Amino acid sequence: MGGAMTHHDCSQEPGQHDLASGPKAHGEEKTLRSERLQIERKTFLLALKENPRGQFLRITEDVGGRRDTIIIPASGLEELLKALQAMIDQIEPAPTLTAPIKSPD
């Protein structure tokens, strides 16, 4: 088992992170910005952080007390954004996203 696990160990108490001790080994983390998103029954916490190794985005998903976390280096965020935008472009437009109704002239 390596220290960079990407799944949650169900034997841990709720609220504990299997990655909690990992980043601390590389120095103190500083949170630069954080956002909390509630999407359906899931809560996502996005935290832009910095440690002596650089900046990174930590995304934590919380579903009923179960937490999973991924970390993306800041150098990959633009590429991630492009991939997400390409996926969004593939989604059928929702009624609220359709072109505005033109008013008669």
State the CATH number of the domain containing residue 52: 3.30.2450.30
CA–CA distance, 93 with 90 (Å, rounded to integer) = 9
What's the CA angle centered on 10, arms 4 and 16, to 5 degrees?
Answer: 65
- Measure the CA–CA gap between 16 and 69, rounded to whole angstroms: 11
| Domains identified in the chain, total number | 1
Q: In terms of Cα–Cα distance, which of 63, 14, 18, 5 is closest to 37?
A: 63
* Residue 66 located in a structural domain: yes
Domain carrying residue 40: 27-90
Residue in the structure block whose two tokens are 């440690």: 51
- Supply the pTM of this predicted model: 0.61
CA distance 16 to 6: 14
- Kindly report, residue by residue over 85-95, the tens digit of the pLDDT: 999 999 987 66
Quick check: is 103 in a domain?
A: no
* pLDDT tens-digit series, residues 64-81: 889 999 999 999 999 999
pLDDT top residue among 57 and 17: 57
- Tell me which amino acid residue 14 is: P
pLDDT in tens, 21-76: 444 555 799 999 999 999 998 999 999 999 999 999 999 999 888 999 999 999 99
Look at residue 42 and tell me if it is in a domain: yes
Answer for the pair 51, 26: CB distance below 8 angstroms, yes or no. yes
Q: Is residue 59 part of a domain?
A: yes
pLDDT reported for residue 69: 97
Helix (H) or strand (E) holding 79: helix 77-90
